[in-house]
A and B are shown apart, each in its own frame.
Chain A
């Protein structure tokens, strides 16, 4: 199915996106830091990905992507880094919260 990669991305992002508003996690207390760290990492890994895709390190099965491409990469692959960086910060803050709570 053409939308399968997109479904994977939405599945990864959904729960962190909903729970990120939790006051105990405090992701949006530092929106600037969140945006900056996500932006820097996205740019680095987009560049890596553009080169690696062009070189043939990996490719994307046309059966599972919607077909919209930019610089050789499916739109899903561009979004992948936005999703993963966000989920990383969310999971990191959650881990710190639960470790701190256990110590009390």
Chain B
């Protein structure tokens, strides 16, 4: 497998583990999958534009060269990792904040 392909898949897997280990468990919530569909649509537009101009160019030897419209398939896994890790940590830090506030009381 190509380098970017491995990294993109591995990162999505790693984020799912982080979600589990931090006890956030976003991936089992219905809202999460609605959110993911919305972010998928945003990705199609924004990344579609970036890859069709193209503003970002991809090294042929590093990805599978399978594209959805102009977007490499790896980008969807990469985007999933980026977006999901952000909100997993957001929920985690929010919970930590409120736990700490409770302890002080």
Contacts and interface: CB of A to CB of B under 8 A. Distances in A.
Q: Are A and B physically bound partners? A: yes
Interface of A: 4-5, 8, 12, 30, 32-34, 36-38, 40-41, 44-45, 48, 52, 55-61, 64-65, 81, 84-85, 87-89, 91-92, 95-96, 99
A60 B85 contact: no
A55 B7 CA distance: 13
Task: Report the 4 A-B pairs with minimum CB-CB distance, sorted nearest first.
Answer: A33-B93, A37-B89, A37-B90, A95-B35
A95 B82 contact: no
12 contacts: A4-B55, A38-B86, A44-B85, A45-B82, A55-B62, A56-B61, A57-B63, A84-B86, A85-B86, A88-B39, A92-B90, A96-B31
Interface of B: 3-4, 7, 11, 30-31, 34-35, 38-39, 42, 46, 49-50, 53-59, 61-63, 82-83, 85-87, 89-90, 92-94, 96-97
B86 A95 contact: no
Is the contact region of chain B dominated by helix, strand, or loop, or is it mixed?
helix
B94 A30 contact: yes
A55 B11 CA distance: 18
A57 B90 contact: no
Contacts of A60: 55-57
A93 B72 CA distance: 28
A82 B54 CA distance: 22
A4 B54 CA distance: 11
Contacts of A55: 3, 59, 62
B89 A84 contact: no
B6 to A, nearest CB: 11
A88 B3 contact: no
Contacts of A45: 82
